[in-house]
Protein backbone atom coordinates (compact mmCIF):
# COMPACT_ATOMS: atom_id res chain seq x y z
CA UNK A 1 0.00 0.00 0.00
CA UNK A 2 1.26 3.45 -0.89
CA UNK A 3 -0.46 6.64 0.20
CA UNK A 4 2.12 9.19 -0.87
CA UNK A 5 3.33 9.53 -4.46
CA UNK A 6 6.95 10.11 -3.47
CA UNK A 7 7.08 6.46 -2.32
CA UNK A 8 6.03 5.07 -5.72
CA UNK A 9 9.59 4.58 -7.08
CA UNK A 10 10.15 1.94 -4.39
CA UNK A 11 7.39 -0.21 -5.86
CA UNK A 12 9.35 -1.42 -8.89
CA UNK A 13 12.10 -3.29 -6.98
CA UNK A 14 9.52 -4.82 -4.65
CA UNK A 15 7.37 -5.95 -7.59
CA UNK A 16 10.43 -7.44 -9.31
CA UNK A 17 11.34 -9.35 -6.13
CA UNK A 18 7.82 -10.72 -5.86
CA UNK A 19 7.82 -11.82 -9.48
CA UNK A 20 11.22 -13.47 -9.14
CA UNK A 21 9.74 -15.50 -6.28
CA UNK A 22 6.72 -16.41 -8.41
CA UNK A 23 4.32 -14.25 -6.40
CA UNK A 24 1.70 -12.08 -8.13
CA UNK A 25 1.97 -8.45 -7.05
CA UNK A 26 -1.06 -6.31 -6.28
CA UNK A 27 -0.73 -2.80 -4.93
CA UNK A 28 -3.10 -0.34 -3.35
CA UNK A 29 -3.32 3.07 -1.78
CA UNK A 30 -4.21 6.57 -2.83
CA UNK A 31 -0.90 7.17 -4.62
CA UNK A 32 -1.86 4.66 -7.31
CA UNK A 33 -5.02 6.51 -8.28
CA UNK A 34 -8.32 4.92 -9.27
CA UNK A 35 -7.09 2.53 -11.98
CA UNK A 36 -4.25 0.11 -12.77
CA UNK A 37 -2.15 2.50 -14.89
CA UNK A 38 0.45 3.47 -12.28
CA UNK A 39 0.53 -0.03 -10.82
CA UNK A 40 1.24 -1.62 -14.20
CA UNK A 41 3.84 0.99 -15.13
CA UNK A 42 5.68 0.23 -11.90
CA UNK A 43 5.72 -3.51 -12.55
CA UNK A 44 2.80 -4.69 -10.42
CA UNK A 45 0.17 -7.03 -11.83
CA UNK A 46 -2.66 -4.74 -10.81
CA UNK A 47 -4.26 -2.63 -8.13
CA UNK A 48 -6.86 -3.47 -5.51
CA UNK A 49 -9.03 -0.77 -3.96
CA UNK A 50 -9.18 -2.67 -0.68
CA UNK A 51 -8.62 -6.04 0.92
CA UNK A 52 -12.10 -7.28 -0.04
CA UNK A 53 -11.16 -6.87 -3.71
CA UNK A 54 -7.90 -8.84 -3.51
CA UNK A 55 -9.27 -12.36 -4.21
CA UNK A 56 -11.10 -11.17 -7.33
CA UNK A 57 -8.07 -9.26 -8.60
CA UNK A 58 -5.76 -12.23 -7.96
CA UNK A 59 -8.11 -14.45 -9.95
CA UNK A 60 -7.90 -11.96 -12.82
CA UNK A 61 -4.09 -11.97 -12.63
CA UNK A 62 -4.01 -15.79 -12.58
CA UNK A 63 -6.32 -15.85 -15.61
CA UNK A 64 -4.09 -13.44 -17.50
CA UNK A 65 -1.00 -15.48 -16.61
CA UNK A 66 -2.69 -18.65 -17.88
CA UNK A 67 -3.50 -16.96 -21.20
CA UNK A 68 0.09 -15.70 -21.51
CA UNK A 69 1.44 -19.21 -20.84
CA UNK A 70 -0.91 -20.66 -23.48
CA UNK A 71 0.39 -18.12 -25.99
CA UNK A 72 3.97 -19.27 -25.38
CA UNK A 73 3.22 -22.89 -26.20
Q: What is the mean pLDDT of residues 16-20?
A: 96
Sign of the torsion formed by the C-alpha atoms of 22, 27, 32 and 35: positive
CA–CA dist 36, 26 (Å, integer): 10
What's the pLDDT tens digit per position in 23-62?
999 999 999 999 999 999 999 999 999 999 999 999 988 7
CA–CA dist 54, 73 (Å, integer): 29
What is this structure's pTM?
Answer: 0.79
Q: What is the pLDDT of residue 73?
A: 47
Q: What is the pLDDT of residue 12?
A: 96
Amino acid sequence: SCSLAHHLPGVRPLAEAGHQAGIPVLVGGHAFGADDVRALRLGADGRAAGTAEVPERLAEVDGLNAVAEDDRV
